[in-house]
Chains A and B, each alone.
Chain A
Amino acid sequence: MIANYGYKDGSGDYYISIDTDRCIDCAAGRACLTACPKEMFEIITDDYDDEVACIKQANRRSLAYDCADCKPSGGYASLPCTTACTPGALKHSW
């Protein structure tokens, strides 16, 4: 399943997509949990009884701001979360 967490507002689309099929049995040891400086990821058991990562509820409405520090303007060449996610399950829409 592709789970898109986030929103669209007047300034653009701000979604983090998690491919849960790649996230199950994570080969990266759930590195996203520690890679994100804002600790926005958590592991849940989804409706199909799979343990997968998701974005915490509190961050889903503020991704544009929460992720801003990790974008190139914040001095990062690549996003810490997508870099840490070696199975390639994570994507940012912006």
Chain B
Amino acid sequence: MITAGIDMGSRSVKVVLLEQINVDSAPQLQYAVKKAHLMMPGELDADQAAERAFSEALAAAGVARDDVKSVFATGAGRKQVAFATEGVTEMTAGAKGAVYMYPNARTVVDVGAEEGRGIKTDAEGKAVDFAGNEKCAAGAGSFAEAMSRALQLTLAEFGEASLKSDRTIPMNAQCTVFAESEVVSLIHSSTPKEDIAKAVLDAVASRVCAMVRRVGIEGEVVLIGGMAHNPGFVKSLKGAMGVDAVSLPDLPEFVSALGCALIAAERQH
């Protein structure tokens, strides 16, 4: 049986095709990811983007549409996935995916392009407490991206640059627009780019951490979402949360889509 999870994020569409498997030598292995596909929609409408991403994933996996038993959608644009069987919230999908990959995970930090959130989960991957920031993107990836543009660095350079700084510069602005003017002020005062990059990522981490603290930090902490690719942010987050280790999936942006596909599979039984 094949199920699909589609995470319609504000910046990209993630599709996971999941196949139920039976391995006699490893009965604990119930599912295998058949294909994980990411598409940046560009100027496409959300519903067109979902359709195209799903079609591309099916073609890449060599799976016929009729072979997919169920399609579940999550993410900010989940309601625009017209062909989805059902939709689940980002909290439910993220918790499910994270616990599937890390069975001891009880705290899930999800930082995508436009929103960050903290989720507390139980051993079955059911969200038991969550907090996000519905108002602004200052605690999310697009904020870091805007600041890297102000510093004329690529996102990869931005993350690496912050690791070279051990200076703490507090950023007071809560809003991306005002924060950018704060960054410009720091540039004009000849503050090294490395220090500014660390200040920005510390600020994002601090805002994300405030949400995580609302739900409480316990058990293994897993960071999912695209910001998990940023090593500077990971370091800042560990510092803000006061934890020694944060588990990082290989493909952190696909964890919610995976959770979605897992829920779709479980509801087939």
In the assembled complex, how far is the CB of residue B180 from the closest CB belonging to chain A, in whole angstroms? Answer: 15
CB <8 Å contact, A61 and B127: no
CB <8 Å contact, B175 and A10: yes
Q: Which of A1-9, A23-31, A74-82 contacts B (4 or more CB under 8 A)?
A: A1-9
**Given A13-B210, A15-B214, A47-B92, are A8 and B130 also a contact pair (CB < 8 Å)?**
no
Which secondary structure characterizes the binding site on chain B?
mixed
CB <8 Å contact, A4 and B92: no
Interface size on B, residues (CB 8 A): 23
Residue of B nearest to A93 (CB): B214
In the assembled complex, how far is the CB of residue A15 from the closest CB belonging to chain B, in whole angstroms? Answer: 7
A22: CB under 8 A from chain B? Answer: no
Contacts of A46 in B (CB 8 A): 89
CB <8 Å contact, B136 and A48: no
Residue of B nearest to A64 (CB): B135
Contacts of B132 in A (CB 8 A): 4
**Chain B interface (Cβ < 8 Å from any Cβ of A):** 88-89, 91-92, 126-136, 174-175, 207, 210-211, 214-215, 263
**Chain A interface (Cβ < 8 Å from any Cβ of B):** 1-10, 13, 15, 46-48, 60-61, 93
10 pairs from A and B in contact (CB 8 Å cutoff): A1-B129, A3-B130, A4-B129, A4-B131, A4-B132, A7-B135, A7-B136, A8-B207, A60-B134, A93-B214
